[in-house]
Structure 1
Amino acid sequence: MKFSTRAASIERLRTDCVWLPVVGGRHLSPGGEALDAETGGRISAALASGDLSAKAGATLMLHLDGDARRALLVSFGETDEVGEKAWNEAVRAAFRAAGAIAANDAVSLLHEVPVTGRGVEWKLRNQVAAGREAAYRFEQLKSKRDKQPVRPERVTLLVARAGASRAATEVARATALANGVDLARDLGNLPGNVCTPSYLGDVAKKLGRDFDLKVEVLGERQMQALKMFSLLSVGKGSEQPPRLIVLHYQGASSKQAPVALVGKGITFDTGGISLKPAAEMDEMKYDMCGAASVLGTMRAVAEMKLKINLVGVIAAAENMPGGRASKPGDIVTSMSGQTIEILNTDAEGRLVLCDALTYVQRFKPRTVVDIATLTGACVIALGHHHSGLFTREDALAAELTDAGREAGDTCWRMPLDDAYQEQLKSPFADMANIGGRPAGSVTAACFLSRFADGYDWAHLDIAGTAWKSGANKGASGRPVPLLTRFLIGRCEG
């Protein structure tokens, strides 16, 4: 599905279908009123008949002028005040209704509806996001694919001439973001026998070729030389060798300190010797969604050509049981020199991330954000709506929270008090890799904080937001929108 903007009069445009917003059950936007006048009042007559429900998301298809041109009336609710929830419901409904008809192109005026606290650029971006979400399919591994084409193929967003240039920029950025989200979703949805640590390295190399990024993929010997024994311990039980994947995007002066994104890339997590239950273990292919979000964000930023320096680091491994696998009670030495008693081999994400957080210090980053499907405890705490945000930096917390709200990809700040560090005490090593059941997501973040030295740091626990379970299970692409909006803010701030 392709999106573009155009500054033109709606009456002069010829399209398969025009999308007209309706507010308060009966009010058309200015563009809708103009088209109604041009068609002799056919649209207002349909509204007067009561055929369109006032409920947000209700739709009504009209044929105009007796030809193939259609008008899709989209209700934004019973009141003239439109909030974000009603807006999103209506926009998603418009794409569903348009997808059910044989119309290859459409013109949208949905952004003419005022949304409380939001400007036209936000509404343009959200339409692109909703359309690409509706168009997404994961069929790469099916022998028979859906023969029904994605419709509409093209959507034109009609804008005022005064803001046409800015609108075109926003739509181009929204398209780049959608491409990044799709990449993250595709990687998350791939099975573990395809998406291995080496496969992630190959994807990173392709991104490097496509977008002129510098890419390094470190193997076991290189990680051993760096003394990354915590990361290496996770992959010991697997036939798939671990990888440390590093991507560099330079969009600003080399004097500018980069932002670094660090992603957990456990391409399949059995739990290791601390084996998980069999039920729903297939979903552990999603344990690399932190890595997928780093790759998706790098792609979006590179396509947008943002004026920022960005480093992406992915700690990739497969956590399997085996004769060489780490055992509960084993002690390993991290790259930082700190020793870790592994009490639970299923708490492996923090073991790969801690070495990556130490490694990233060499780039002298201004800010580091790590992203990981880290704890089931975060799902219990926040459900599937917000990602968990942990940081000691109030300003950084505000930046990420605001970026999430702007992108519709929200996070919620969680505590990171020193009192929780007590739960990580070990009688045999510098720390244990788990702190018991109480506040499990907090103690996991506390563990990571011990390795985040020399830079502002935040941790995003995306265990509840990276994928959806059930009949329609699949990767969500989160938090690529949050991270990308955060980086855009850094460019504009």
Structure 2
Amino acid sequence: MAHLSILKHTTDSLDSIKADAISIGIFKDGSMSSRGKAVDNMLNGQISSAYKRGDIKGKHSETTIFYAENGPVIVIGLGKADNFETECIRKIGGTLAKKAISKKYAHVACENFGGKASVPFGRALAEGLVLGSYQFNDYMTKKKDELFELKKVTVSGGSRDGLDKGSIIGNGVCFARNLGNHPGNVTTPTRLANEAKKIGRRGKMKVTVFDRKKFTEIGMGALAGVAAGTDEPPKFILMEYWGTKKSVKPKVLVGKGLTFDS
């Protein structure tokens, strides 16, 4: 299993960052952010010229690679400027991550696409980058050194807080994907409960695990019945996080973990 592990924020210009490739965006109307224009100038106007010729159209997630003296430049279409929302930039992040992996770029520097500097846009970009870089290779027949991973992305501009939040969410989703991608004889109820305990220790949460005997005693017969036909003992996992004021009403999330072949 692998996904982007280093996501860094900087205010440095893209051309000053040492990376395997840099990336900017272009809207469908040909407009670019100030960082995008700077890169276009570095390329002596190759990007804007290609747009005028119709070689690139700025369609959402369209990718074109130009080559500067210091390395490749990935230009990604952003679509219509007036329709550019967080979901658009989330998909852009995923597109960039997948392109970097396919071209074997371990470190990519990119702009805050569209010049958006708010927390929601930074969060969406980080989510897209992390989720787009996700690979589950545990049962691949290829040797480990034949598999390629995107190791690092440096984002120039935008919201540092947004990137941090998006990275946390993306890592959480990848963690859940890993558990779900293992077969049922690996991710058993017991393993799921043990992983929950590890999360609890790291996040200062109270974790309680009920076994079959306990939740039968307290009247959870339906759950006990569903798990009656398996050799693996069922688990009921309760995770509690009391991280706010007592006056704030608690939020309760209920989930179901299927650890068999459904």
The answer as to whether partners of 2:95 and 2:132 remain within 8 angstroms in 1 is no
TM-aligned CA deviation for residue 12 of structure 1: 3.5
Q: Give the corresponding residue for 1:258.
A: 250
Q: Secondary structure at the residue paired with 1:267?
A: coil
Q: What are the Cα deviations for residues 158-197 of structure 1, in whole angstroms up to 9, with x where unaligned?
A: 116xxxxxx2222111111111111221222222222222
Is the alpha carbon distance of 1:203 and 1:51 closer, same or farther for their aligned partners in structure 2, counting shifts above 3 Å? same
Q: Give the corresponding residue for 1:24.
A: 28
TM-aligned CA deviation for residue 22 of structure 1: 1.0
Residue in structure 2 matching 1:75, options 71, 77, 92: 77
Q: Give the corresponding residue for 1:109.
A: 111
The answer as to whether partners of 1:124 and 1:157 remain within 8 angstroms in 2 is no
TM-aligned CA deviation for residue 254 of structure 1: 4.6
**Larger Rg belongs to:** 1
Q: Which has the higher contact order (CA 8 A, sep 6+)?
A: 2
Partner Cα separation in structure 2 for residue 126 and residue 83 of structure 1: 12
TM-aligned CA deviation for residue 214 of structure 1: 1.7
2:147 is the counterpart of 1:148: yes
2:8 is the counterpart of 1:4: yes
Q: Secondary structure at the residue paired with 1:242?
A: coil
Q: Which segments of 5 or more consecutive residues in structure 2 lack a partner in the other structure?
A: none
The answer as to whether partners of 1:51 and 1:60 remain within 8 angstroms in 2 is no
Q: Secondary structure at the residue paired with 2:187?
A: coil
Q: Secondary structure at the residue paired with 1:217?
A: strand
Partner Cα separation in structure 2 for residue 211 and residue 59 of structure 1: 39
TM-aligned CA deviation for residue 225 of structure 1: 2.8
Partner Cα separation in structure 1 for residue 242 and residue 197 of structure 2: 16
The answer as to whether partners of 2:23 and 2:76 remain within 8 angstroms in 1 is yes
Q: What are the Cα deviations for residues 391-416 of structure 1, in whole angstroms up to 9, with x where unaligned?
A: xxxxxxxxxxxxxxxxxxxxxxxxxx
Is the alpha carbon distance of 1:222 and 1:92 closer, same or farther for their aligned partners in structure 2, counting shifts above 3 Å? closer
Is the alpha carbon distance of 1:260 and 1:70 closer, same or farther for their aligned partners in structure 2, counting shifts above 3 Å? same
Q: What are the Cα deviations for residues 22-72 of structure 1, in whole angstroms up to 9, with x where unaligned?
A: 11253222112123334433433343443323432222111113x4x2211
Q: Give the corresponding residue for 2:62.
A: 58
TM-aligned CA deviation for residue 237 of structure 1: 2.4
Residue in structure 1 matching 2:166, options 162, 166, 174: 174
Q: Give the corresponding residue for 1:136.
A: 134
AA in 2 matched with 1:188: G
Q: Secondary structure at the residue paired with 2:252?
A: strand
Q: Give the corresponding residue for 2:207.
A: 215
Is the alpha carbon distance of 1:175 and 1:235 closer, same or farther for their aligned partners in structure 2, counting shifts above 3 Å? same
Is the alpha carbon distance of 1:197 and 1:159 closer, same or farther for their aligned partners in structure 2, counting shifts above 3 Å? same
Q: Which segments of 5 or more consecutive residues in structure 1 lack a partner in the other structure?
A: 161-166, 269-281, 285-493
Partner Cα separation in structure 2 for residue 8 and residue 145 of structure 1: 37
Q: Give the corresponding residue for 1:192.
A: 184
2:118 is the counterpart of 1:120: yes
AA in 2 matched with 1:148: L
Partner Cα separation in structure 2 for residue 27 and residue 141 of structure 1: 44
Is the alpha carbon distance of 1:24 and 1:139 closer, same or farther for their aligned partners in structure 2, counting shifts above 3 Å? closer
TM-aligned CA deviation for residue 255 of structure 1: 5.4
AA in 1 matched with 2:138: Q
The answer as to whether partners of 2:89 and 2:124 remain within 8 angstroms in 1 is no
2:235 is the counterpart of 1:243: yes
Q: Give the corresponding residue for 1:44.
A: 48
* Alignment length (residue pairs): 256
Equivalences for 1:328-477 in 2 at 5 Å?
none
Partner Cα separation in structure 2 for residue 107 and residue 168 of structure 1: 15
AA in 2 matched with 1:187: L
Q: What are the Cα deviations for residues 4-29 of structure 1, in whole angstroms up to 9, with x where unaligned?
A: 21112344334332211111253222
Partner Cα separation in structure 2 for residue 228 and residue 90 of structure 1: 45
Partner Cα separation in structure 1 for residue 227 and residue 237 of structure 2: 15
Percent of aligned positions with the same letter in both sequences?
25
Partner Cα separation in structure 2 for residue 255 and residue 55 of structure 1: 49
TM-score w.r.t. length of structure 2: 0.84
Q: What are the Cα deviations for residues 362-420 of structure 1, in whole angstroms up to 9, with x where unaligned?
A: xxxxxxxxxxxxxxxxxxxxxxxxxxxxxxxxxxxxxxxxxxxxxxxxxxxxxxxxxxx
Is the alpha carbon distance of 1:142 and 1:15 closer, same or farther for their aligned partners in structure 2, counting shifts above 3 Å? closer
Is the alpha carbon distance of 1:262 and 1:221 closer, same or farther for their aligned partners in structure 2, counting shifts above 3 Å? same
Q: Secondary structure at the residue paired with 1:179?
A: helix
2:216 is the counterpart of 1:224: yes
Residue in structure 2 matching 1:96, options 95, 98, 107: 98
TM-score w.r.t. length of structure 1: 0.47
Q: Secondary structure at the residue paired with 1:96?
A: helix
Is the alpha carbon distance of 1:24 and 1:141 closer, same or farther for their aligned partners in structure 2, counting shifts above 3 Å? closer
Partner Cα separation in structure 2 for residue 220 and residue 89 of structure 1: 43
AA in 2 matched with 1:121: V
Q: Give the corresponding residue for 2:225.
A: 233
AA in 2 matched with 1:82: N
Is the alpha carbon distance of 1:144 and 1:212 closer, same or farther for their aligned partners in structure 2, counting shifts above 3 Å? farther
Q: Secondary structure at the residue paired with 1:215?
A: strand
The answer as to whether partners of 2:58 and 2:78 remain within 8 angstroms in 1 is yes
